[in-house]
Chain A
């Protein structure tokens, strides 16, 4: 999948995640009056929201690789990390909402028109940050975490504002929050994909074979390449590839490739290497697979 397609795909996943989370969050919310406190209420709604957002986003990697076990495993770990992120995020967001709301409601004349949407958007942004970083924590990548902070923050802000203003334009709209959550998910996905590309160390594009056209963003300190699906760059279906064939890694903002292969050599620009600094335009050969290292 090209990185453009990946961005579209992440947006889709975000929308689907919002769709899945909505009825559950809504159910918890109609019982708000039965909760003993705002604390418990926030924990439960945050847990539900984070669980669905986290598991759906974590399924994306497996789906791109068309690997059912990766989808399943991703969703389980994503759900777990997501629910923790959801709880913390919702609590932090709710805390901020209370503080800003209480300040603005007594100091702003047009509170309902401007103050409330702003307070809500700040709260959503904070929630977004924690939802955004779950994917980075799950795959233990600092780069993904920082990407998630920006993507989640912007996604939360835009989603929160849009849903809030939507409610003002069409009062009593039944699905205002649903649309808000879909936008929330969409924007987290969109910014995630967008920012991910901007913050990456370049792209490895597969040039031939079954995965031709697929682009791997280099956004982790270490990325393994090989036949097995445990690798970050899975090159099954190619011949002459070892279980773990090569490793792409980052040292002082430079990208290197190191051979881990026993059977076939790793080549850069048709020359066998063991540990090599990559520059844009280099052609990497791993077994029968060829990849182009490029800027974007």
Chain B
């Protein structure tokens, strides 16, 4: 009796799984987030055949947000809800082709030398068929193969000829490379595909047996060592990236197929097709396209919790069963995350800034009581030994290249030893310059001149400013401020 009950429950739950739906967030659009706080979530809901489920009502959905992907907060209200919103959006495909040893057998798993009977030939044919079906103006196709190792040929591109070229270049693996790493290769393919934007689908062409390198050879895999990937790992990864996985099966119907591949397809919103059914095979593209045409658009107001990225969880309650899908979007603000510890004491820094500003405002950039002086502003050639020289009210001040000059400028060939003399004239109460060599004052050639404060003397390539200093006469003549 107990056995019967267990059997009943076993069958019941298997059926549940068999008829389960898949909810997948295929895209999050935050382009209006700053303007109206809206996040648009595109959700693909499919049955176990990979066909879209239509006409679900808004009430069946609940949206949650989280800053860490663990603690979710329910969003009060869905602001916009729409089915069949997408007219035509381009799709990025990644074709992942099994290139293991068994792909070079015939459909019934027997060795053959006739290329036409090999599974790989059918696989290539299926790919060419698929390429004929897609809309290359919008869609893009990438190509990768796997056996013991995963090899990417190209990221999604929109050139059929190049893809066909890559397809031709796929050759039989060497001895020891022919094992079948389905899960790890899918995982790597998803990782590769994660850097592509937009709607994404992986189509894996396989004869359906996962035969990891390490399990079969007991030798460490060059990339994974002793790690054996489970089928859950690619599922989890593809749900994070919003990628659906479709499988095309090349094994014979009699052969034991990888049941997990079906599970992977189902849980990621994909489907499994059989290669010997030509009609089914040609429907692969329309099926994927149909999914996208029937996506749901759910809009809601985003939460304001500070976080660099935010997780969105869409929950669908259909026939008393819950289906979830989680993805994240970028939500960082210009200055980043707030401080963990904030103390009002930090406002002391503001006071500090005010004090600094006040101190700066106290600075007087003025020269008061400066004595009369000569200052070398610049030299075209040579180098001044003294840059600034105070003038006394007695003897002579000599500008020249000689060491005995009062203001010595060395290395200037046109500078004479005693080029010019500045002397204080007591009767005029002013300084006079007398030239021995070529000299200009304020750009006028002179032999001698009574200097005014601020006069610019040019001698031997040097520019020298004469300053009478702060003169008492200036102060007395000063205009009264209004």
Contact = CB atoms under 8 A, between A and B. Distances in A.
Interface string B322-344: 00000011101111101111100
A16 B357 CA distance: 7
Interface in A115-165: 116, 119-120, 123-124, 127, 164
Given A64-B365, A97-B332, A207 B194 contact: no
Interface string A53-85: 000100100111010100100000000000000
Interface in A253-276: 269-270
B267 interface: no
Contact of A106 (B34, B194, B363, B468): B194
Interface in B331-384: 332-336, 338-342, 346-347, 349-350, 352-354, 356-357, 360-361, 363-368, 370, 377
B255 to A, nearest CB: 37
A259 B78 CA distance: 71
B474 interface: yes
Interface in B372-422: 377
A116 B337 CA distance: 12
A223 interface: no
Contacts of A97: 332-334
Interface residues of B, number: 73
A240 interface: yes
Contacts of B309: 105
Interface in B18-57: 30-31, 33-37
Nearest to A112: B308
B365 A66 contact: yes
A264 B365 CA distance: 26
Contacts of A91: 34
B465 A207 contact: yes
B264 interface: no
Contacts of A178: 349
B279 interface: no
Identify whether the interface residues of B are mostly helix, strand, loop, or mixed: loop
Contact of A33 (B305, B354, B442): B305
B306 A102 contact: no
Interface of B: 30-31, 33-37, 191, 194-197, 241, 301-306, 308-309, 328-330, 332-336, 338-342, 346-347, 349-350, 352-354, 356-357, 360-361, 363-368, 370, 377, 442-444, 452-456, 463, 465, 467-468, 470, 473-474, 477-479, 481-482
Given A66-B361, A207-B455, 9 more contacts: A19-B349, A30-B339, A95-B34, A101-B332, A107-B197, A174-B341, A177-B336, A213-B367, A290-B456
Across the A-B interface, the 8 shortest Cβ-Cβ residue pairs? A290-B454, A208-B454, A101-B330, A20-B353, A207-B454, A239-B477, A29-B338, A208-B453
Interface of A: 1, 5, 9, 12-13, 16-17, 19-20, 22-27, 29-30, 32-39, 41-42, 45, 56, 59, 62-64, 66, 68, 71, 90-91, 93-95, 97-99, 101-109, 112, 116, 119-120, 123-124, 127, 164, 167, 172, 174, 177-178, 205, 207-214, 227-228, 236-241, 269-270, 281-283, 285, 288-292
